Amino acid sequence: MTSSNVKSALEGVATANDHLSSDANGMLQIEGRSAESLLEEFGSPLYVVSEATLRTNFRRIRDAFQSRWPKPVNVMYAIKANNNLAIRAILHEEGAGGDCFGEGELYATFLGGADHDKLVMNGTNKTYAELSAAVKAGVRVNVDAADEIGMLSEIAAETGRTARVCLRVKVTPQELEQFVPDYTARPFNMLDGVRGMQWGYSIEAAAAMVPEVLSAPGVELDGYHLHVGRSNPEPDYYETLARAYVETIVELHRRTGYTPDIVNIGGGYARERDPESRSLALNPHEIEEYAESITGPLLTGLEGAGIPTPVLWMEPGRYVVGNAVVLLGRVGSVKRDLEKVWVNVDVSVNNLMRIETAHSTYHVLAANHLLEAHDEVVDIVGPLCLGAPLGAGRHFPHVERDDIVAVLDAGMYAETAANQMNGVPRPATVLVNESDAEVIKERESIQDVFVHHRIPVRLRGGG
């Protein structure tokens, strides 16, 4: 039932950086490619990466901060959000640096392509091997454990290279008490949240560590790092953190005389469609607002203390890749009972674990019926024995077996967290742009799911 006065399901859902549209028949197009043709060619379910969206996101966040900061800004893609190597390669072409949490991400970052001078390694429990890999590769280390300093000195002596580091700090201004994270059911505020997290050093601890790092042989202190993360999308939240960060830098300068060359502000920038808010409503705040809320207090605070403006480093993950991936799937059986409708699809929470772990709320589109009336209320459910629906109580058009669904914002923390619960293989990933649609990650087979399992010989009797 198509009706001319029914608006496209993309209205009020699509955002400026998306490359999503509907054709005249109501079929979703991702960067001009029809959802149907992609599923026919590559199978279902399927992660589809829009190259133009990825590049647009990167340029937009870079420009938002660079236009407000008088020194160079190094945008380091946090590869934990999505570690696909082709995504890394595209971002390397765009000039992105990288945030690597551990040796695996360092490996992936270099495989995709990276400039060592624009990379950092994070973590509170880095091993000697990880630190050594970072120093050998010329990657900066965000020191977040006191015993790293000695290890780094040793590695510097062993390799003949300088270990270049920043110190990860933690800020706990009282104002954080007013911000209650929207991504968790636990009743706590961001002051408790930050106090309780293992990352970063308080001002007292940092004041003792700065001289220690400065005097460690072979170790060079380049600046500071702070990452708290996306807690809620209020610009005031980002401003509060930036103000506390600059106060910390100034106070450490007062106590130790140390002047940073790099100030790293981490990641955590909420997207316009913001699944972790647990709401389908668009976040009214855009990245330029966050850039203003952060750079303003930092620049004012540094200038007020007479500290020369350092270079700005940042580690966005979700902002860069979140909306660049759409997860396509097919409808299976549609069950109607007890005055409810369950639309079964082959996409599962295995592919969108934030539904299970953070109760994220994703937009799910009936991708081949975008222009039809959405007059049924349905639960869209996956094929697992896990109960969490992909979308509950959603207005949907009438759908049947083999229709198509599209889950938006499947770019962040989806593939990297995907698992094989119920023995379900993980989907393939396809990269689309104006001229091509190319597989950038092969679909797993059922055999792949069990490829590393071993049955001890004594259990193989079968009798």
Ligand X SMILES: Cc1ncc(COP(=O)(O)O)c(C=O)c1O
Site residues (CB under 6 A) for ligand X?
78, 80-81, 99, 122, 227, 229-230, 266-269, 315-319
Supply 83's token pair. 């570690």
Give the Cα separation of 347 and 421 in Å (integer): 13
Indicate the residue among 164 and 225 with the shorter CB distance to ligand X: 225
* DSSP, residue by residue, 67-122: TT-SS-EEEEEEGGG---HHHHHHHHHTT-EEEEESHHHHHHHHHH---GGGEEEE
In the complex, what is the shortest distance from the CB of residue 320 to ligand X, in angstroms, rounded to a whole number? 8
3-class SS of residue 139: coil
Give the Cα separation of 97 and 115 in Å (integer): 7
Give the Cα separation of 90 and 92 in Å (integer): 5
Cα torsion angle, 234, 235, 240, 242, sign: positive
Which residues, 6+ apart, have CB-to-CB distance to 296 below 8 Å? 68, 239, 242
Indicate the residue among 130 and 315 with the shorter CB distance to ligand X: 315
Indicate the residue among 322 and 329 with the shorter CB distance to ligand X: 322
Q: How many CA atoms lie within 13 A of 399 on its CB side?
A: 34
In the complex, what is the shortest distance from the CB of residue 123 to ligand X, in angstroms, rounded to a whole number? 8
Give the Cα separation of 92 and 112 in Å (integer): 8
In the complex, what is the shortest distance from the CB of residue 76 to ligand X, in angstroms, rounded to a whole number? 8
Burial level of 99, CB count in 10 A (0-12/13-18/19+)? buried
Give the Cα separation of 134 and 162 in Å (integer): 11
In the complex, what is the shortest distance from the CB of residue 295 to ligand X, in angstroms, rounded to a whole number? 17
In the complex, what is the shortest distance from the CB of residue 301 to ligand X, in angstroms, rounded to a whole number? 22
Please give the C-alpha separations between residue 347 and each of 48, 332, 382, in angstroms, as whole numbers.
13, 10, 6
Indicate the residue among 230 and 363 with the shorter CB distance to ligand X: 230
φ, ψ dihedrals at 401, nearest 5°: -50, 140
Indicate the residue among 258 and 269 with the shorter CB distance to ligand X: 269
In the complex, what is the shortest distance from the CB of residue 314 to ligand X, in angstroms, rounded to a whole number? 8
Indicate the residue among 22 and 82 with the shorter CB distance to ligand X: 82
In the complex, what is the shortest distance from the CB of residue 207 to ligand X, in angstroms, rounded to a whole number? 22
Indicate the residue among 26 and 266 with the shorter CB distance to ligand X: 266
- Rg of the chain, C-alpha, whole Å: 24
Indicate the residue among 69 and 77 with the shorter CB distance to ligand X: 77
Indicate the residue among 54 and 381 with the shorter CB distance to ligand X: 54
Indicate the residue among 270 and 345 with the shorter CB distance to ligand X: 270
Indicate the residue among 292 and 379 with the shorter CB distance to ligand X: 292
Exposed e or buried b for every residue in 369-401, given b needs 16+ CB within 10 A? bbbbbbebebbbbbbeeeebbbbeebebbbbee
In the complex, what is the shortest distance from the CB of residue 93 to ligand X, in angstroms, rounded to a whole number? 20
Burial level of 453, CB count in 10 A (0-12/13-18/19+)? exposed
In the complex, what is the shortest distance from the CB of residue 205 to ligand X, in angstroms, rounded to a whole number? 18
Supply 303's token pair. 């200038």
Burial level of 72, CB count in 10 A (0-12/13-18/19+)? exposed
In the complex, what is the shortest distance from the CB of residue 130 to ligand X, in angstroms, rounded to a whole number? 15
In the complex, what is the shortest distance from the CB of residue 77 to ligand X, in angstroms, rounded to a whole number? 9
Would strands 140-143 and 97-101 be described as parallel, antiparallel, or unpaired? Answer: unpaired
Which residues, 6+ apart, have CB-to-CB distance to 340 below 8 Å? 379
Supply 435's token pair. 């001229």
In the complex, what is the shortest distance from the CB of residue 316 to ligand X, in angstroms, rounded to a whole number? 4
Supply 186's token pair. 């636990």
Indicate the residue among 295 and 433 with the shorter CB distance to ligand X: 295
Give the Cα separation of 179 and 194 in Å (integer): 11
